[in-house]
């Protein structure tokens, strides 16, 4: 049985990541691309043409009334994500919600209450939880642990968004995922500088996880390279990972390298793990969508629920508010 899917919001993330993932899954017969909608009809038309949706709309209610889909993807800007997410959840439709699902904790809590009331299957799109390299890192850390120290980085080029916290939330959540642990207490530091006249803020997060792992995170939105990954230090071993570096021999699909006795002892690429080279696969977009569709088919609630996303949103909001401490 294939799941009939509708998409709300046909902007960058759908055109570059969800669309290609959905096209692959449609070719495998796992999803039927019923309709996509955007306030901008040209975007909706482009996504229909590029990925094979049957119909387009500019009004989400018109689309959902007509299509009666089995599942919906909400990929709209963070400012309206909560309001639109609630319009879909209130219909009882299984929903994949782009991150952050809400812009405030009050908004998130109202979504949690609504999802509980309607008993609706939902998933927050923290796609790094499906990135082949990070899934493998988490698996290896279970065997190699405890992790004494986790260092993480998120490096970008020319990102001058007024609020980079909505992207930083990916790394914030990935820390919780790879360590299977929660934040205990953190010191947060900021460095704001001017890039071509726009303020850019670097974030430093240092502290300790509930299990005692020492944490050091650095996030630089405009530093001339794109990289994102972790160094996980265990007794006598280090696991070095890059999810999806640009301009690297492992471009797009990433690598995991294990070190011991000062030598690299094993290197695995994301291509070895997933059998594919595309960047949206390296970032976990294909695995995420496949997993969500499977949950809808099996009528089982995914682990990455709105409730589970709460701690990640809390830290994102602390960064946005330039808080000095967390936890
Ligand atoms: N998972 C990731 O790696 C990742 C990366 C980038 C963005 N995102 C998230 O995805 C979401 C969308 O980001 P984007 O970069 O695609 O933004 P975007 O601005 O390019 O696209 C959003 C689209 O939503 C449409 N929209 C707004 N209100 C709508 C409504 N009521 N009905 C239908 N369409 C509506 C807009 O017209 C726009 O085309 C954001 O929440 C963002 O945080 C996730």
Nearest CA to ligand 1 atom 20: 11
Q: Based on the domain organization, do 99 and 145 belong to the same domain?
A: no
Q: Based on the domain organization, do 76 and 108 belong to the same domain?
A: yes
Mutate which of 17, 62, 76 for ligand 1? The one with the most ligand atoms within 8 Å of its CB, which is: 76
Cα–Cα distance for residue pair 111/87, rounded to 1 Å = 10
Closest residue by Cα to residue 50 from 79, 105, 88, 12: 12
214-249, pLDDT tens digit by residue?
999 999 999 999 999 999 999 999 999 999 878 887
Q: Which numbered atom of ligand 1 lies nearest the CA of 283?
A: 3
Cα–Cα distance for residue pair 179/303, rounded to 1 Å = 15
Nearest CA to ligand 1 atom 38: 11
Model's pTM, two decimal places?
Answer: 0.96
Q: Based on the domain organization, do 139 and 221 belong to the same domain?
A: yes
Q: Based on the domain organization, do 20 and 161 belong to the same domain?
A: no
Q: Based on the domain organization, do 181 and 320 belong to the same domain?
A: yes
Q: Based on the domain organization, do 101 and 147 belong to the same domain?
A: no
Give 249-254's long-range contacts (Cβ < 8 A, gap of 24+). 252/277, 252/278, 252/279, 252/282, 253/132, 253/133, 253/277, 253/278, 253/279, 253/281, 253/282, 254/131, 254/132, 254/133, 254/229, 254/282
Residue numbers of the domain that contains 262: 128-278+316-326
> Where residue 165 sits, what CATH number does that domain have?
3.30.360.10
> Where residue 44 sits, what CATH number does that domain have?
3.40.50.720
Residue 60 Cβ contacting ligand 1 at under 6 Å: yes
Tell me, in angstroms, the distance from the centre of ligand 1 to residue 41's CA. 14
Q: Which numbered atom of ligand 1 lies nearest the CA of 40?
A: 37
Cα–Cα distance for residue pair 112/248, rounded to 1 Å = 41
Residue 13 Cβ contacting ligand 1 at under 6 Å: yes
Q: Based on the domain organization, do 110 and 147 belong to the same domain?
A: no
93-120, pLDDT tens digit by residue?
999 999 999 999 999 999 999 999 999 9
Quick check: is 310 in a domain?
Answer: no
**Residue whose structure tokens are 């949206």:** 280
Tell me, in angstroms, the distance from the centre of ligand 1 to residue 44's CA. 12
Nearest CA to ligand 1 atom 7: 13
Nearest CA to ligand 1 atom 37: 39
Q: Based on the domain organization, do 144 and 203 belong to the same domain?
A: yes
Quick check: is 11 in a domain?
Answer: yes
**What's the confidence (pLDDT) of residue 48?**
98
Q: Based on the domain organization, do 239 and 150 belong to the same domain?
A: yes
Collect the ranges in the chain with pLDDT lower than 70.
none
Nearest CA to ligand 1 atom 18: 11
**What's the confidence (pLDDT) of residue 130?**
98
Q: Based on the domain organization, do 135 and 274 belong to the same domain?
A: yes
Cα–Cα distance for residue pair 125/98, rounded to 1 Å = 5
Residue 124 Cβ contacting ligand 1 at under 6 Å: no
Residue 58 Cβ contacting ligand 1 at under 6 Å: no
Residue 228 Cβ contacting ligand 1 at under 6 Å: no
């Amino acid at each position: 049985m294939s799941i009939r899917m509708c998409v709300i919001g046909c902007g960058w993330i759908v055109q570059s990541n969800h669309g290609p993932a959905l096209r692959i899954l449609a070719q495998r017969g796992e999803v039927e691309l019923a309709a996509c909608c955007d306030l901008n009809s040209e975007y909706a038309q482009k996504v229909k043409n590029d990925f094979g949706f049957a119909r387009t709309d500019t009004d989400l209610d018109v689309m959902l009334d007509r299509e009666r889909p089995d599942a919906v993807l909400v990929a709209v800007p963070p400012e309206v994500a909560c309001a639109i997410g609630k319009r879909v959840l209130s219909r009882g439709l299984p929903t994949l919600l782009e991150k952050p699902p809400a812009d405030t904790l009050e908004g998130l809590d109202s979504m949690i209450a609504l999802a509980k009331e309607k008993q609706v299957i939902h998933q927050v799109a923290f796609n790094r939880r499906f990135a082949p390299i990070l899934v493998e890192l988490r698996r290896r850390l279970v065997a190699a642990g405890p992790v004494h120290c986790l260092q993480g980085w998120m490096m970008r080029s020319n990102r001058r968004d007024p609020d980079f916290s909505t992207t930083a939330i990916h790394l914030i959540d990935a820390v919780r995922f790879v360590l299977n642990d929660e934040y205990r207490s953190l010191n947060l530091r900021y460095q704001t500088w001017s890039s071509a006249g726009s303020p850019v803020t670097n974030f430093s997060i240092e502290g300790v996880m509930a299990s005692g792992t020492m944490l050091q995170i650095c996030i630089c939105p405009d530093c001339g390279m794109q990289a994102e990954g972790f160094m996980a230090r265990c007794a006598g071993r280090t696991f070095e990972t890059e999810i999806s570096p640009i301009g690297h021999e492992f471009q797009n699909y990433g690598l995991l390298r294990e070190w011991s006795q000062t030598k690299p002892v094993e290197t695995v690429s994301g291509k070895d793990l997933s059998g594919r080279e595309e960047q949206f696969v390296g970032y976990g977009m294909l695995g995420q969508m496949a997993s969500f569709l499977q949950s809808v088919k099996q009528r089982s609630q995914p682990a990455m629920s709105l409730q589970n996303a709460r701690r990640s949103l809390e830290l994102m909001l602390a960064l946005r508010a330039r808080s000095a401490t967390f936890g």
